[in-house]
Chain A
Amino acid sequence: MTAWAIEGVRPLGAAPTTLYVDRGIFVADRPTGAQVIDADGLIALPGLVDLHAHLREPGREDAETVETGTRSAALGGFTAVHAMANTDPVADVAGVVEQVWRLGEQAGHCEVRPVGAVTVGLAGERLAELGAMADSAAAVRVFSDDGRCVHDALLMRRALEYVKAFDGVIAQHAQEPRLTEAAQMNEGEWSGVLGLTGWPAVAEEAIIARDCLLAAHVGSRLHVCHVSTAGSVELIRWAKSKGWNVTAEVTPHHLLLTDELVASYDPVFKVNPPLRTQADVDALREGLADGTIDAVATDHAPHPLEDKETEWGCAAFGMIGLETALSVVVATMVDTGLLDWAGVADRMSVRPARIGRLPAHGNDLAVGEAANLVLLDPAARWTVDPALSASRSRNTPYAGHELPARVVATFLRGRPTVIDGKPA
C-alpha cells in the first residue's frame, strides 16, 4: 500500500487542488513518502459504479470472465460493478453469488456486487432464495432476472414485497413477452423497411407502468433497467412525482445510437432493448439531465465473435460498453451542456451506489472517505479499437469512432487499478 499526492487535480471539475490518499482513504495532510501524480488538467470523480454488467462467469468464460470484465471496468473508470445473474449456472443461490463475489475479490480490479436472480433459473415461475443471497458473503441487494422480464404480475408483486425485509430492490428488465415474440429491432419506420420483427415501445412501457403501480401498492423499491423509450421516461417521471420509490437507468448506447444503424444488418448493433429513434434518444438525455433517470448503467454484454458474425436474426443481443461508457456520457451529456461534472459523478457514481447500497462508493472526495476515484482527461480524444479492449469480447458498436475524454487513472480503496490509462 502506497500513499499518493494527486496534484493539480480538479475534483468534479472545480478549482485545482491536491488530493492526498493514505492507507485506502482520503487524508488531510501530505503523507510522508507520498507518490506524486501530476494531475494537472485532469478531473477527479468518485469511482464509477455500474449497476448492470454481464461478466459471463460462470458458464461463458469464452466471452468474459470476472477478471477480464472487471479489468475492462477499471479501465473505464469503474470501482464497483454489479454482475448480472444470467450466468450458467444462474446466480439464483447463495453459492453462485458468493463464487462471483470471491472471483471479484481475487481479481482486485473492482468491487464486484453480484445481482441475484429473482426467480429460480430465471424461469419466471417461483422466487429464488432471495434471503439466502442477501445474507451470504456477497450481501446481495439488487435482484434481477435481466435478459428476461418478471412478467407474471403476482410474482412481481411478491418479489417486490419480499425484498423489503433486507432492503433489496428488484431491477426489472421491462419487456412484455407476448408483444416481443421473435422481436429483432425497434418497431417503427426501419423495422418495416428492413423486414425485421418489431420490438414495440409499448412492450417496455406497459411493464414499467404496471411495476410502478405495484411498487407503490406494496411500498417497495423498484429499479428499471435500461430504459429505452421516451414513453418510459414519462412514466418514471410520473411515478417519481407521486413520491414512489422508483429509480431507473439508461445505457450509454441508448443515449447515442439510433435504429437507423440496423440498416447495415450488422449484428454489432443488435441489442435488447433495441436501439430506438432520435426522439427517444433526446428524451432519454433530457430524463438523465433532469434526474428522472438516476443512473447510467452499461449493460456490458460480451459475446464471442461467432455469435455476432452471422445473419441478424441468428445473432446474440448485446454490446460491450465498460471502457466507452464515460466517454459516451461526455459526448452526449457534457459536451451538449446537459450535465456538468458533478452531474456525471451523480449519475455514474453517487446514485448507482445508493441504489445498490454500496456505502464505500459514490461519496464525496472528502477526508475520511474510501479513496475510490477516477482521474480523467477531459481534453483527450481517442479512437475506439476493439482489439485493444481488456474485455474478452469485441462487440463494441463504436469501433472506429472518435470519442472525447479518457480515463487516466482509477483507484480502488486507495490502490491504483489503472495508471496512465493502462492496468496498474
Chain B
Amino acid sequence: MNRHLLSSGDLSRDDAILVLDTAAEMDTTLAGRSIKKLPTLRGRTVVNLFFEDSTRTRTSFEVAAKRLSADVINFAAKGSSVSKGESLKDTALTLEAMGADAVVVRHGASGAPHRLAHWIRGSVINAGDGTHEHPTQALLDAYTMRKRLGHVDGLSVAVVGDVLHSRVARSNVLLLATLGADVTVVAPPTLLPVGMSSWPCQVSYDLDAVLPKADAVMMLRVQNERMNGGFFPTIREYSRRYGLDARRMAALPERSIVMHPGPMNRGVEIAAEVADSVRSTIVEQVANGVSVRMAVLYLLLGGPTDSDASLGEGEAR
C-alpha cells in the first residue's frame, strides 16, 4: 500500500483484496463482543478534516478510528479558521504541527487531498474530493458485493446516474475493474464525461438493456444543482428513463442486489419500494463502511511506526 489513499486507481489488486480481507477480519474479531474496541491504534491521532458537510462519512470514519482506539479530532471547516479564509496549506501545516498521523479529508475541490499530501507527513485518506474520487466508498461497495454475492471477480455491475459529477462512480469503476468485475456505466449522454475511452468500463444510455444481466446495480444520487443545470429536461423525465422503480427491479436476475451510496432521493433515482426491498444493501453499506475504514486506517497506520521501515514507506505525492 502507498502511504496515502487518494484514488482507487492507486490500489493494486493485492492491495484491494488485502483491504477487503482485513475488513472481514475486523468484522469477525468484533462480532459478539460487548465492547467493540481494539487497541491497535492507541496513541495515534486521526484528524477528520471536512470542508464539506458529510455527517455520514465523517461519522463512519470517526467510529472506525475510535474502534481502533485512535484519538480522533474532528476539524470541521465551518467551525474553524478555514471559514475565515485560511488556505489549505496553512490548515495542513497546522495539522502537521499537531502531529496528525492520518488526515481524512473531504473537500469540494477535485485534487485537494493530492495537494494536502504534499504538505504533511501523515497519511492522507481521501474521503471525497469534488467530482473526482471517493475511494473508501468504492471499497465498502466492493466489500458489500463480496459479502452478499460471494465474490467481485466476474460480476456484472451497472453504475447508474450522474457519472460526470460523481466521485463514487469514478472510484467504483477503477476499483471494480481492478477486482475483475465487468462494469457498465449508465447515464444520459449529458451526464457522461467526454473522452471516456480510457475508462475500464462499458457505457450505455439504456438502463432497461443493462438490467437483465446486472448482478449489482448501483444507483447514484442526483444532486439538486444538476436538476436545474440543464443536463436533462425535467426531474420526472430523468426518473422515467434512469430511475429504478419496482417494475425495472423485476427485470434483474434473481440474486441481484441494489446499492446506493446515500443519501437517497426516494422517488427520483430510486423508488421507495426498491430502497426498502430485500435486494437493497443500503443499510449494510453503511455498516460495512465502518469495517472497511477500520481496515484502511489499520493498514495505513497500524504497521510499524515511522522509525521502523517497510509499511510506513510510500512515495510523497
Q: Which A residues are closer than 8 A to B by beta carbons? A: 184, 187-198, 200, 264-265, 306, 309-314
* Max chain B C-beta neighbours (<10 A), residue from A188, A191, A193, A310: A193
Residue of B nearest to A196 (CB): B110
Given A187-B194, A311-B88: A192 and B199 within 8 A (CB)?
yes
- Which of A187, A192, A311 has the largest number of chain B CB atoms within 10 A? A311
B132 to chain A: closest CB distance in Å? Answer: 3
CB proximity of B261 to chain A, nearest CB, Å:
16
Which residues of chain A are within 8 angstroms of B107 by Cβ–Cβ distance? 311
* Interface status of B170 (Cβ within 8 A of chain A): yes
B110 & A193 in contact (Cβ 8 Å cutoff) = no
Which of B16-24, B111-119, B299-307 faces chain A?
A: B111-119
Residues on B with beta carbons closer than 8 Å to the beta carbon of A200: 194
Contacts of B196 in A (CB 8 A): 189, 192
Is B182 interfacial (CB-CB < 8 Å)?
no
Indicate if B189 sits at the interface (CB-CB under 8 A): no
Residue B198 is within 8 A (CB to CB) of chain A in the complex: yes
Give the residues in chain A near B199, CB-CB below 8 Å. Answer: 192-193
Contact of A309 among B87, B130, B132, B195 (CB under 8 A): B87
Candidates A187, A198, A311; contact of B115 at CB < 8 Å: A311
B195, A264: Cβ atoms closer than 8 Å? no
Q: Verify if B197 is at the interface (C-beta below 8 Å from A).
A: yes
Q: A196-B131, A311-B88 are in contact. List 18 more A-B contacts (CB 8 A).
A: A184-B110, A187-B194, A188-B194, A190-B195, A192-B193, A192-B195, A192-B199, A195-B110, A195-B165, A195-B167, A196-B132, A197-B131, A265-B110, A265-B114, A265-B115, A306-B87, A309-B89, A312-B110
Q: Which residues of B contact A306 (CB under 8 A)?
A: 87
Closest to B132 in A: A195
Q: Which residues of B contact A197 (CB under 8 A)?
A: 131
- Are the C-beta atoms of A193 and B170 separated by less than 8 Å? yes
Chain B residues within 8 Å of A312, by CB: 109-112, 115
Contact: B130 with A195, CB < 8 Å?
yes
Q: Is the beta-carbon distance between B170 and A195 smaller than 8 angstroms?
A: yes
Q: Which residues on the A side are within 8 Å of B193 (C-beta)?
A: 191-192, 198
Question: Would B109 and A313 count as touching, CB distance under 8 A?
Answer: yes
- Grouping DSSP codes into helix (H, G, I), strand (E, B) and loop, the B interface class, with mixed when no group exceeds half, is loop
Minimum CB–CB distance from B114 to chain A (whole Å) comes to 4
Q: Is B129 an interface residue (CB 8 A)?
A: yes
- Taken together as a complex, chains A and B put the C-alpha atoms of A196 and B132 apart, in Å, by 7
Partner of A195, one of B89, B133, B195, B198: B133
Residues of A within 8 A of B198 (CB): 189, 193
Provided the pairs A311-B112, A312-B109 are in contact, do residues A191 and B195 lie with their beta carbons within 8 angstroms?
yes
Size of B's binding interface in residues, CB under 8 A = 27
A196–B164 alpha-carbon span in the complex (Å)? 10
A264 and B219 CA atoms in complex are apart in Å by 30
Q: Please encode chain B, from 44 to 88, with 1 for each CB lying within 8 Å of some chain A CB and 0 for all others.
A: 000000000000000000000000000000000000000000011
Asked whether, in the complex, the Cβ of B130 is within 8 Å of the Cβ of A189, the reply is no
Residues 84-135 (chain B) with a chain A CB within 8 angstroms: 87-89, 107-112, 114-115, 129-133
> Which of A187, A194, A309 is close to B111, meaning CB atoms less than 8 Å apart?
A194
User: Please, how many angstroms separate the alpha-carbon atoms of A189 and B133 in the complex?
Assistant: 16
> Which 5 residue pairs of A and B lie closest in terms of their CB atoms, listed nearest first?
A192-B193, A265-B111, A195-B132, A311-B109, A195-B131
Which residues of A have CB within 8 Å of B114? 264-265
Cβ B115 vs Cβ A189 within 8 A? no
Minimum CB–CB distance for A37 against chain B, Å: 45
A-B contact pairs, 28 of them (CB 8 A): A184-B110, A187-B194, A187-B195, A188-B194, A189-B195, A189-B196, A189-B198, A191-B193, A192-B194, A192-B195, A193-B198, A193-B199, A195-B129, A195-B131, A195-B132, A195-B165, A196-B130, A196-B131, A196-B132, A197-B131, A198-B193, A310-B89, A311-B88, A311-B109, A311-B115, A312-B109, A312-B115, A313-B110
Residue of A nearest to B196 (CB): A192
Residue contact A310 to B88, C-beta cutoff 8 Å: yes
Q: In chain B between 133 and 152, which residues have their CB closer than 8 angstroms to a CB of chain A?
A: 133
- Tell me the smallest distance from the CB of B120 to a CB of chain A, in Å: 14
CB distance from B49 to the nearest CB of A (A): 13
Q: How far is the CA of A309 from the CA of B92 in the complex (A)?
A: 12
Residues of B201-241 whose CB lies within 8 A of A? none
CB distance from B305 to the nearest CB of A (A): 29
- For B109, what are the chain A residues with a Cβ–Cβ distance below 8 Å? 311-314
Give the docked Cα–Cα distance between A197 and B164 (Å): 9
Residues of chain B with a CB closer than 8 A to A187's CB:
194-195
Given contact pairs A195-B110, A195-B170, A196-B110, A313 touches B194 in the complex (Cβ within 8 A): no
Q: From A188, which residue of chain B is reached at the shortest CB distance?
A: B195
Shortest CB–CB separation between residue B161 and chain A, in angstroms? Answer: 15
Min C-beta distance of A12 to chain B, whole Å: 42
- Pick from B133, B165, B194, B197: contact of A191, CB under 8 Å: B194
Task: Give chain A residues whose Cβ lies under 8 Å from the Cβ of B164.
Answer: 192
Name which residue of chain B comes closest to A313, CB basis: B109
The residue on A at minimum CB distance from B170 is A195
A314 proximity list for chain B (CB < 8 A): 109
Report A287 CB to chain B, min CB distance, Å.
Answer: 23
- In this complex, what residue of A is CB-closest to B113? A265
CB-CB under 8 A from B165, the residues of chain A are 195
**Could you say which residues of chain A place their CB within 8 Å of the CB of B132?**
194-196
- Expressed in whole angstroms, the minimum distance between the Cβ of A23 and any Cβ of chain B is 53
Q: Residues of A contacting B194 with CB < 8 Å?
A: 187-188, 191-192, 198, 200
What are the residues of chain B within 8 A of A313 when measuring CB–CB?
108-111, 130
The answer for the CA separation of A184 and B193 in the assembled complex, in Å, is 14
User: Complex Cα distance A358/B301, Å?
Assistant: 64
Task: Please measure, in the bound complex, the distance between the C-alpha atom of A153 and the C-alpha atom of B107, giving whole angstroms.
Answer: 39
